[in-house]
Structure 1
Amino acid sequence: MKPFITLFTLFFGVAASQAQPVIYKDGTTLITGIWSGAGGGGTANLAEVSTNSPYEGSLHYRFDYAYTGWWAGLGLNMDNWGADAPRNLSGYTHLRIAYRGLTSGQTLTVQLRNNSDYGNSVVIGGSASSYTVVDVPVLSLTIGSPLDISAVREIDLSVGNAETGSGTVYFDAIELVNGSTGSEASAATWARANSLHTGLNTANWLEAYWLMPFNAYPETGKYNRANISALRDAGFDAFRLPVTFERICPTTPPYTIDFDQTAFHLVDSMILWAGLFDFRLIIDNHHGYPLTDANYTTEIPRLKAIWAQLAAHYDDLDPEQFLFEVYNEPTNAISSNNFRTVAAEVLASIRANETQTHSVLVGAAGWNSGGELTGFTPLDDPDIIYTFHSYDPFFFTHQGMSWTDPPYFPAMSFPQAGDVEGINQLFDNVKAWSDAYNVPVCLGEYGCATSADATSRCNWIETMTGAFHSNGFSGFYWDAISPTDAFGFYTGGVVSETMVIPCFAAAIGLYAEPLAVEFEDMSIACRDGLPVLNWSAFHSNEGDVFIVERSENGRQWETAGQMRAVPGSYRYEFTDKVAAAYYRLSARYPDGSKHVLRVQTADCGAPEPELILFPNPVSGQLHIKMTGDQKQLTAVRIMNSSGMQVLNRVSAGGFGHAALLDVGNLPGGVYWVQVQCGDETIAGQRLIVR
């Protein structure tokens, strides 16, 4: 346990035996004076009133405001304007406040002050039609700031998030409390987080819902085996797969997912490639429908239903290699406090529908900002990796883009005064938050516009990677291959060492060292029904070892054998003792690192099972039969020409090696029949119904 948490525990023990310190509640107050103001020559009025239904007791504060300069605010003084000593607010985990009001689009923030020492400004929430109670972590109010929680003279509240605005907000029941600080991460999740080193998002692919109106979703060829293999060889050992699950799933109960859609087949491809090329994969729910403070409670059942099915569908994936992410970038329309409620409900749905515990990524509101994360109370689950995104400074990293609002931010250089310090301070604060709660953090997205000048792009990528590397975070770059109007760093989108921008490769750690092995070729032949692997390679180091692995599905691998490498050029031969469908050849170096050299299929075992449909064409009864040494049929699915499932028959006990189905009710046309044998799906066959 970290020392900071130990300190919290000591505080908790002391505070638990005391009356909770009330700042303003039920006739008790520490407030000795008030002030208010508004930007741009606006108006502001703060008063203690008994009307308009206080949250508790007979009084509460009412703040009326109108501003034109992004801000209206107030202060609650607690030292009699300097005549008394500052207040000691230490010993508690959260500052609790009840509030009601604001205009839609505005946010309420809180900040503590001691003379010229200010704490952090932390978002409490957005507009609320009834009194809402929010617990703000005390840690978030002070982390990385000069303020000492044991010496506080003033509590400041601010309204903002829009350039102009007006409205009314009430607040009441301000006190310090001890609440949940969430769970520390398990050893397993710490190990999984630490295995995420050099990451990349497969961007603008399966999350690109904007292609749907043009019937162009999903773009099947944007990422394929060849460029994923090339990116893996470049040094990326973890990929984040954004998928717009919510927009390819029904929006009305019971929210049943059709897993036969093309997008899910492409997800399966990435899962297969993760097995073939040995990388970690985060399956990310991206570009979901907006969550707001007004709608989040009604959206929870839909999100829980979707994740219940996703968790069950992907339950068999190895938790050491595959991770989930519940929701990408909740915006400022929902507070982190309310999004925490959403995340907790979704997480419970995942846990209830998996048989092995996967680590799950969760971020805070504010588009997964780091500032919001430091104000987030961890969830009561030990298997979470917390995530944040950083495109700071935003107007620099998004300059010249056609899709921003407004489009085409003007050209800027990097760094400007304070840019580097601001980035480093944010990352230091996130690291302090991670240490305090003993939970892992990763940088889920970062990227810089292709339209920025070359020198500034290099300056930025070096600053950003330095910030997350020095704090021990993994980082996932957003979109390496899009050459224009995006963030790519491969010239022309061609993934090769000769086409990468050198400063990006150096900063991220790509093509870092020449391989000790120069791989030449590999083939697999069959001898007496067993696979024989032949390969040639040149080795320059002593102590290297070739590892041969086998797999039946490309996902679960076991070691078939090892061979010590011979220095210089040499041809190797390895005969496996059993026949498998896939073989993976890797080189393991003396430092323990491993590099995948080649993945290849083999066909030395029993004959492939064959699916037989008769009669075909058919007008009534359809006979389905499997030949070959195959498990019995357990499921039959029929899809129409649009890919929609029209018939699904499942037998827990199995149909045997043949099944009889009545397809007479299907309209005439062309269909696709797919069968499942045990846990293996067999390639389908075309069927014509008359």
Structure 2
Amino acid sequence: MKKAGMAMVLLTMAVFHVFSADDVVFSEGFDTPEAVAKYGPGDGISFVPEGGAGGSGCIRFHRDTVGDSWLLIPIDPAELRGRAIQVEAMMKAEKIAKPSPGYMGPKLMLNLQSPGENSHSEQEKVHGTYDWRKFQVFAQAASDVEKAVLAIGIQHGQGTLYMDDVKITLVPTGETEAFVPPAAPLPTRTKYRGMMSGYDLREADIRDFALDFGGNLLRWQLLRGKADTSTPELYRAWLDAELDKLDAVMPALKKYGVKVAIDLHGGPGTNQDRFLTNQLSWDVPNQNLFVETWEKIARRYKGNPMIYGYDLLNEPREDNYVYEPDGALEWNRLALRTAKAIRAIDAEVPIIIESAKGGGPAGLKTLRPVNLPNIIYSVHIYSPHTYTHQGITAAGRESRVVYPGSIDGVEWNRDKLRQTVQVVRDFQLKYNVPIFIGEFSAIAWAPGAERYLEDCISIFEEYGWDWTYHAFREWTGWSVEHGGVFENQFPVENSPRKQVLKKYFERNRE
């Protein structure tokens, strides 16, 4: 097999090229001694004639003691920029010891390096002895990736590993036309300021939110909670019940002038971690149900002036994705497909798309903009996580983590926060699209939380981004109406954090 090339992906501020089919950018079967030798000598590396998965040659990596026996193969980064990538290989093992740390050992890894980011995407770790089986790795390359390296073999491990049919494929984008930035100028002033909705809000809560706090936007969570949504029928029934709850407060929302961003906080078949991020389902029927869900919501709320936007999925993740030509879609293509389905029903209500790195800012480096009208791009800000989530995670249980200050060896202050969201600002300016900060917060007992919120909001306001704080009358640990510690929260009057929010909510009255 020979290495295959492709035209460079050209990504500009105005348009990106369209690829409708998968492209192979690297392919090696190690069928001959020369095929092994051309990647350079290495400890314990040899050619095995007729030892491959299909009876042809293959490459062998061997270590009697713990150490390295691997190849680092440069890949032209220009061929990967702005694309979803699948790396695959056939692998066979003999007595591969379980290493420490666990990410060592048998290795099929793509290392992508871009300014400020160094990612290592690698295969599922299987140790011991096993016959030929296919392993796959999914990665997203940023448009500014500067270096790409394919690593194969054994890293800091022991045993024997055979590899064959190593391939890097670019996943189709799904676009049928080039992206054209919207013509409308970017907003220069924040228009909507609010909070995440809590559980079972009633008219009195909406009144308090609008009149006491001064908010004009709720990011309305459609929460699965403990509901059984394990079948399509159960999921549809859960969805109907959640939408009925929203409809019940719609008169109050209209009365007090509060818009809602409908947030699908749990998708069909998605796996949620403790922070309620959504690992996408790679089951095609579940993805069909995801699209169907948004078609139902769009039909129900089309023309409703109180809908700020349709937030497709809370904090999506695409771990362990495997590309198949007729299989499930990674987030970029699934978001595109869903947005098109909504636009076929509702041409007006904005569609909100979050990044596939759990909604984090860095995910915008690999999020592809959608060539449809009225699209808003959203991220969540919990940086540094050690500070914002102290007590929930192990951090902060023994001694409090203070902001501003040194956190995890980094000096965190307003300038560092601005640096963290620069990737968001860059995305906005590059594609001329609006930004919505769907979540940000600091836990109630975090020292300096009011300063943290002030610094975050002042940056959002400077850039004209709409925002919603997490959260209003949900868990008391996030509540600005409560204080305390992780083990015990209690109501407080006019906390410093609430004062910060109300200061900016006053601008909603201008």
| Short-chain TM bin | 0.5 to 0.7
Encode CA deviations 1:640-686: one digit per residue, 9 max, x unaligned. xxxxxxxxxxxxxxxxxxxxxxxxxxxxxxxxxxxxxxxxxxxxxxx
The partner residue of 1:384 within 360, 375, 378 is 375
The partner residue of 2:469 within 470, 474, 477 is 477
Encode CA deviations 1:324-357: one digit per residue, 9 max, x unaligned. 11221234645597233433343344344x2444
Encode CA deviations 1:466-503: one digit per residue, 9 max, x unaligned. 4433444322110144684x11223579xxxx933345
1:95/1:135 contact within 8 Å kept: yes
Q: CA deviation at 1:389?
A: 1.4
1:450/1:483 contact within 8 Å kept: no
Mapped to 2, the partners of 1:366 and 1:426 lie a distance apart of: 14
The partner residue of 1:98 within 82, 87, 92 is 87
Task: Quickly say closer, same or farther: Cα 1:411–1:268, change in 2 above 3 A.
Answer: same
Residue in structure 2 matched with residue 229 of structure 1 by the alignment: 207
Mapped to 1, the partners of 2:438 and 2:457 lie a distance apart of: 13
The partner residue of 2:493 within 491, 495, 499 is 499
Q: CA deviation at 1:427?
A: 0.4
Structure 1 length-normalised TM: 0.50
Residue in structure 1 matched with residue 231 of structure 2 by the alignment: 252
Task: Quickly say closer, same or farther: Cα 1:412–1:338, change in 2 above 3 A.
Answer: same
SS in 1 for 2:417: helix
Task: Quickly say closer, same or farther: Cα 1:389–1:296, change in 2 above 3 A.
Answer: farther
Residue in structure 2 matched with residue 424 of structure 1 by the alignment: 418
Mapped to 1, the partners of 2:207 and 2:116 lie a distance apart of: 47
- 1:155 equivalent to 2:149? Answer yes
Task: Quickly say closer, same or farther: Cα 1:254–1:512, change in 2 above 3 A.
Answer: closer
Task: Quickly say closer, same or farther: Cα 1:428–1:260, change in 2 above 3 A.
Answer: closer
Residue in structure 1 matched with residue 118 of structure 2 by the alignment: 121
Residue in structure 2 matched with residue 314 of structure 1 by the alignment: 301
Encode CA deviations 1:71-110: one digit per residue, 9 max, x unaligned. x9974347xxxxxxxx78389654755335899x989875
SS in 2 for 1:368: coil
SS in 2 for 1:328: coil
Q: Which amino acid aligns with 1:458?
A: E
Q: CA deviation at 1:394?
A: 1.6
Q: CA deviation at 1:242?
A: 0.3
Residue in structure 2 matched with residue 526 of structure 1 by the alignment: none
Task: Quickly say closer, same or farther: Cα 1:390–1:59, change in 2 above 3 A.
Answer: farther
The partner residue of 2:400 within 401, 411, 435 is 411
Aligned residues: 436
Mapped to 1, the partners of 2:231 and 2:364 lie a distance apart of: 32
The structure number with the bigger radius of gyration is 1
The partner residue of 2:451 within 452, 459, 466 is 459
Mapped to 2, the partners of 1:120 and 1:332 lie a distance apart of: 18
Mapped to 1, the partners of 2:456 and 2:161 lie a distance apart of: 39
SS in 2 for 1:121: strand
Residue in structure 1 matched with residue 130 of structure 2 by the alignment: none
The partner residue of 1:445 within 439, 442, 456 is 439
- 1:238 equivalent to 2:217? Answer yes
2:280/2:317 contact within 8 Å kept: no
Mapped to 2, the partners of 1:386 and 1:200 lie a distance apart of: 17
1:399/1:410 contact within 8 Å kept: no
Q: CA deviation at 1:392?
A: 1.8
Sequence identity, in percent?
16
Q: CA deviation at 1:230?
A: 2.8
Mapped to 2, the partners of 1:479 and 1:46 lie a distance apart of: 56
- 1:330 equivalent to 2:316? Answer yes
Mapped to 2, the partners of 1:63 and 1:272 lie a distance apart of: 70
- 1:375 equivalent to 2:366? Answer yes
1:137/1:376 contact within 8 Å kept: no
Residue in structure 2 matched with residue 302 of structure 1 by the alignment: 289
Q: CA deviation at 1:383?
A: 3.3
Mapped to 2, the partners of 1:189 and 1:239 lie a distance apart of: 25
Residue in structure 1 matched with residue 197 of structure 2 by the alignment: 202
Q: CA deviation at 1:262?
A: 5.9
Mapped to 2, the partners of 1:21 and 1:474 lie a distance apart of: 41
Task: Quickly say closer, same or farther: Cα 1:178–1:241, change in 2 above 3 A.
Answer: closer
Q: CA deviation at 1:238?
A: 1.4
Q: CA deviation at 1:259?
A: 8.8
Mapped to 2, the partners of 1:342 and 1:256 lie a distance apart of: 19
Which residues of structure 1 form unaligned runs of 5+?
Answer: 37-44, 79-86, 142-148, 160-165, 206-218, 514-592, 596-690
Mapped to 2, the partners of 1:229 and 1:276 lie a distance apart of: 9
Q: CA deviation at 1:286?
A: 0.9
SS in 2 for 1:429: helix
- 1:276 equivalent to 2:242? Answer no
Task: Quickly say closer, same or farther: Cα 1:112–1:399, change in 2 above 3 A.
Answer: closer
Structure 2 length-normalised TM: 0.65
The partner residue of 1:136 within 140, 144, 151 is 140
